[in-house]
Every structure is written in structure tokens, then in C-alpha cells.
Amino acid sequence: MEEDRIYELVNELWMKRQADSKFVPGETVIKIGEATYDNEEINAMFKAILDGWFAMGKYGKEFESNLSNFIGQKYCALTNSGSSANLLAIESLIKTGKITDGDEVIVNPITFPTTFRPLVNNGIKPVFVDVDLKTLNFDEEKLKDSVGDKTKMILAQHTMGIPNNMKLIMDIAEEKNLVVMEDCCDALGSKYDGKNVGSFGDVSTFSFYVPHHITMGEGGALVTNELEIMKHARAMRDGGVWQWCDKCNDFVDTRSCPHKLLSIYEGMPEDTHRNFSFHTFGYKVRPMEFQAAMGLVQMRKLPDFTKRRKDNFEKLVNGISSLGDYFIFCSGPENSDVNWFGFPFIIKDGTPFSRLELIEWLEKHKIEPRPILAGNILKHKAAKEFENGFRVAGEMKNSDKILRDGLFLGVHPGIDDERINFIIDTFERFIKTRR
């Protein structure tokens, strides 16, 4: 078949590229993250394209089923980014009455704006609580103290793949009757007390951007056990069209549902097609079908990706542990199993070098370092736009330290032992020049 010939050519081209690739120390860039894929993903995307349907369809639905089963939740909505997943999750919580205008939500300042911006947009006040330097997540004592009369939700972001102490968070939530949302965009495959992150909260979000644990190029998802949350999430994802059919008792394809011409809204003509009958004024944040096809292959490879990330992290920790006088190395809380997004560390006070000197040395040797997310997001210029729209619960001492002195390196599956050894050697040579 002509189609088979395409796949054969892809396989030949991929094998040739692999044969031509070679790591040259000090010349080949060691990135913080990259897409780890091969001819299997490429052929899956070609097949989806050749099927002739480009918008999200059967591959997207299969991915939703696979992800929800993996996390241990009933429902999943695939989106075009983790940021969109956060937007839909928060607005779905509002639609279902779990949070509302004037409420307060506890958030981590070591973050990205798209984690909490939907709160501000809807008149809900983020309350920033300082973090622990080892876990990059909430300082547990400060978290307890930050819960007030207006607190309605804890937004538990699993930073760099490190799970929060979910027992503590769920205990607080039960005692205070709070909603819990998990931002797992950096943490697919991480576990707490044997359970996947994303399986604890009322709703949880994931990202499949290039450097993440699996990738679709761009992509994201939200998962939940609550049907009403998912009804609203899918409606808002699809422009505002209600995807749930009471007669079918299921989410449906509104093009093929036998009841597609039965208007579900009073005052609308009875023959209005459901694709043009809006339950809410929503968004259009679905991914492309070929992206979902890539994601299905990536999900099958996740166990191997996870092992390689963990191995790379351990090798780096063991290789530069002798430099502990200069660095704080991050770690997970008790009962956690971290699927590392990167290798985060913090330069200690009083070291004989600055962060800038280390960055310049690493970049000179073609090793990419990056800040730990935004550091303290409240120090950024953008925060001035919303300074009346959030509250700060006490000092941000550790968040400020991470802003000044935090970095992370890559541990993605594309980094092999040769690259790991080069990173370790580069660190050791840097320290020798500064002693």
C-alpha cells in the first residue's frame, strides 16, 4: 500500500538521523527538556493526518480514556495546553458553585502566572504562602496558619514533579471543608502514598508541552471524579456547547448523537442543532487530532521515560553530592515517589560564587540551566497589575531565596550517561576554579 511506503520512508529517515547524531562534549547542547520520540510517534501522527480528520476525534477520546484510567479518575478533558486546563478547571469549579467571587485560594508563589490568573479574572483572591526549600512546595506550618474565614480552596502545585504532602492537605481540606485542586503540570507519574498525583483533589490538571514527562508538542488535560465538573469543563472547552446528553446518559459527539436536533434550552427552536446551541460562552481550547495520536504513543512509553528521569536524577545527586557545602539539593516529602521534571538545586548563602557565574560557566559548556519556574512570582513586574487582587500570608523568605539562587538542569530521557558524566565533571571543574 502507498500508505505503508510512507511509514517505511519515515523509518529509514529516522534510523539515518539517529546514526548521524553524536554527542560532542562542550559543543552539543544539553537541554533542560526536549521531546523524546521516534519513528513510532511520527508514523502515528501521519496516520491521523491521513485519516482526514484534523480536529480532536477518536484519538483524542482514546487518550482521555487512557489518561483518566492511569491517574485513577473517572473523567478527562483533553486541551491544547496545561494553562487551558487550569482555566477550565477553575471556571468549572466556579460553575459548580465550589468557589465564587470574593473567596480566597491558597497558592504557591514558585509558579507560572497561568496557574492562578483565572482566579484573579473571576474575582477570587490568591493567597500566597511561602515554600520549603527542599520540596519547593508549601511550608507546612505556614500552610496551616494561612487558612482563614474566606479560604475556600487549596491549589496544590506539585513543583518540579515533587508531590505535596497530600495527607496534610486533604486533612486540612476535610477539617475546613475546602476544595482541593492539583496542578500536576510538572508531575505526571509522581506518586504520594502509592497514589498518582492528580487522584486526590476535586480536579487536577496536566501539561504535555515539549519538556514535560510526555509531550504532544502542545497539550494539556484536566481530570476529575465529579461528573458535574466535567460537564462544564467540556462545554467551555468546546466553545460553550453542552456535550452531555441526558437521553444518552453520556458525553456524545454532537454531530452523530441521535438527539442532536432536540434543543435542550427553553426559548430555542426545537430543531436547533446542538453544535449551535450554547450552554455557556466558552472557549475553543482543544488540541489537534494528530497531537492526540502522538500522545497515545507517549503514554505507552511513560514507564520507561519515568525510569530514565529517576535514574538521571539519582546519578546527578550521587555525582555532585560531595558539593553539598555549596548547594541545597531538593527532595520529595516522606511517602513520595518523584517523577522528576528536572534537577532543581539552590545555591547556599556564603558560597564563593554567584548564580550568574555558575550560569555563565554552564552555558559556556553548552549545559542549559534555568530558574526554578518564576521564583517568587510576586517580585515580577506583572504582579503590580494585580497587587490589590491577592494576599501574601507572611514573609516570602524562601521564595525570595529561590528567586535569587535557584536553578534546575534537565533529567529528561534524552540525556544519557555520557551527558550526565559531562555535567558532573563540569560542576566539579567549576568548583575547583572557585575554591
Segment 99-104 shows an average pLDDT of 96
The domain 42-290 is classified under which CATH number: 3.40.30.10, 3.60.21.10, 3.40.50.620, 3.40.640.10?
3.40.640.10
pLDDT greater than 70 at residue 278: yes
Average the pLDDT over each of 72-81, 320-329, 349-358 and give the range with the smallest value: 320-329
Per-residue pLDDT, 261: 55
Domain 42-290 and domain 301-434, same fold? Reply is no
3-state secondary structure the chain: CHHHHHHHHHHHHHHHHHHHCCCCCCCCCECCCCCCCCHHHHHHHHHHHHCCCCECCHHHHHHHHHHHHHHCCCEEEEECCHHHHHHHHHHHHHHCCCCCCCCEEEECCECCHHHHHHHHHCCCEEEEECECCCCCCECHHHHHHHCCCCEEEEEEECHHHCCCCHHHHHHHHHHHCCEEEEECCCCCCCEECCEECCCCCCEEEEECECCCCCCCECCEEEEECCHHHHHHHHHHHECCECCEECCCCEECCCCCCCCCCCCCCCCCCCCCCHHHCECCCCCECCCEHHHHHHHHHHHHHHHHHHHHHHHHHHHHHHHHHHHCCCEEECCCCCCEECCCCCEEEEECCCCCCCHHHHHHHHHHCCECCECCCCCEHHHCHHHHHHCCCCEEECCCHHHHHHHHHEEEECCCCCCCHHHHHHHHHHHHHHHHHHC
Burial class of residue 349, CB neighbours in 10 A (0-12, 13-18, 19+): exposed
Percent with pLDDT over 70 in the chain:
98
pLDDT greater than 90 at residue 292: yes
Cell of 56: 480532536
Catalytic residue among 212, 213, 365, 412: 212
**pTM score:** 0.95
Per-residue pLDDT, 255: 72
pLDDT band (50, 70, 90) for residue 247 = confident
pLDDT greater than 80 at residue 406: yes
Average the pLDDT over each of 159-168, 251-260, 397-406, 418-427 and give the range with the smallest value: 251-260
Q: Which residue has the cell 442532536?
A: 260
Segment 113-141 shows an average pLDDT of 96
Mean pLDDT of the chain: 93
Q: Where are the domains of the chain?
A: 42-290, 301-434
Please say if 212 is a catalytic residue. yes
| Domain 301-434: CATH superfamily, name plus number | Aspartate Aminotransferase, domain 1 (3.90.1150.10)
pLDDT band (50, 70, 90) for residue 264 = low
pLDDT greater than 90 at residue 188: yes
Distance, CA of 156 to CA of 164 (rounded, Å): 7
Segment 19-31 shows an average pLDDT of 90
